[in-house]
Chain A
Amino acid sequence: MTTCATDQSASAVRPWGLRRMTETLAEEPQPWRTMAFDADTQLTTFYDANGAIVDMQRGTVTISPGGTGSDGSGTNPKVADDSND
């Protein structure tokens, strides 16, 4: 029993580096509501809730969706990944 208890407490230890993380970051509101892809130019354009074009060029975020440091699909969990800066 003692061994079991020790194992349980050992498995609950969090690695030192992980305890250096920040508090939960406030989720930044997505600056755009809809996106359109232009078949001719292969460019995407982003629009806000009022249908105005959002200038997305500046202010690249440090927190991206995806599991591979990707800027990919918004349906994926957001990950603060070092590959993203």
Chain B
Amino acid sequence: MPPSPTTVLVVTSLIDVTANMVIEVLNHRAVRVARIDPADLGSALTFHARIGAGRDAWDGRMSTPSREVVLGEVGAVYYRRPSPWRSDLADSQARQFVITEARHGLSGLLRTLPRCRYVNHPAATERADFKVAQLEVAAQVGMKIPKTLVTNDPEVARKFAQENDPVIYKSFRGVAPGADGSVSTIWAQRISSGDLDDSISLTAHLFQEEIQKTSDARVTVVGRSVFASRITTRDQSLDWRRGDWGELVHDDIDVPDALKTRLLAYLDAFGLTFGCFDFAVEERTSRDSGTWTFIECNPNGQWGWLPNCDAIANAFADTLLEGW
């Protein structure tokens, strides 16, 4: 923490509406906010920083058309969703040079600001983004996880599907647009061994046993605060993201105390201060807290659509300003 922090740096794109919710709370608390998008580097964003000659930490400034930021006054960084890097230069070599140098020079600085609280640090987000890493950490902190196979071996995949029928297939990252710009997606879906073929060998595939859930839970953890919503779909969909989000039914759900401790341990293991967890919940009676199975945790997840989004935005402000 700088000796006298004055500024929260919000690293995100202009069209990030979720960041707006946190910025609004920070404004109410009379905290200075500087919103920057690294992809604006050029006339809309200039910076300089120095180290050495008696300095052992970077010091300098960033300027946008609306803010002049002294790096030493930044007490917290809300690292949300900056735009993809861009360059208008015609020459592809020059374009690539601009982007790579900016990534190392500017992003390198943005992840090295001295004594800052990061929500989240981008390096922690990157590590925690791998589903493979998520499942292992979840298991190690004591959460129940689905039996999972990652493979490119068709025979191993078939055997897993036979032994655990029905199983779920999900992609790790979704799918890029087609050559014509068309957009598709890959939902988590139920499959059987007969659906599989040898083209499994071309890349990594993830299969899981199906949890006989009665509902899903989205648990958003910010700092030490835990917010949970039960999510039910009208058609009992396997993957609640696939329908109209306006049709989702949200209600309150209590997170078992033992699980809360594990959620915090999970974040600590990755060095995160925030995460959006998805659980499959098997409730037997309405009074039963049920069996909670970890599905995944998005370290840069969306929460703006949740009914308790105002409380979550306040928790972000509390966490960013802790110790000021």
Interface residues of A (CB under 8 A from B): 13-25, 27, 35, 37, 39-44, 46, 56-63, 66-85
B1-52 interface (Cβ within 8 A of A): 10, 12-18, 20-21, 23-24, 27, 33-35, 37, 39
Is there a chain A Cβ closer than 8 Å to B287's Cβ?
Answer: no
Is there a chain A Cβ closer than 8 Å to B58's Cβ?
Answer: no
- Size category of the binding interface on chain B: 35 or more
Once the chains bind, are A57 and B83 in contact (CB under 8 Å)? no
Once the chains bind, are A44 and B199 in contact (CB under 8 Å)? no
Docked complex Cα distance between A22 and B185 (Å): 6
A26 to chain B, nearest CB (A): 9
Is there a chain A Cβ closer than 8 Å to B171's Cβ?
Answer: yes
Interface SS of chain A: helix, strand, loop or mixed? loop
Interface residues of B (CB under 8 A from A): 10, 12-18, 20-21, 23-24, 27, 33-35, 37, 39, 65-67, 80-84, 86, 129, 169, 171-178, 181-187, 189, 191, 196-197, 199-200, 202-203, 205, 241, 245-246, 276, 298, 300-302, 304-305, 309
Docked complex Cα distance between A48 and B304 (Å): 20
Given the complex, which residues of A lie within 8 Å of B39, measured CB to CB? 72-73
Interface SS of chain B: helix, strand, loop or mixed? loop
Once the chains bind, are A58 and B304 in contact (CB under 8 Å)? yes
Once the chains bind, are A80 and B185 in contact (CB under 8 Å)? yes
Once the chains bind, are A83 and B173 in contact (CB under 8 Å)? yes
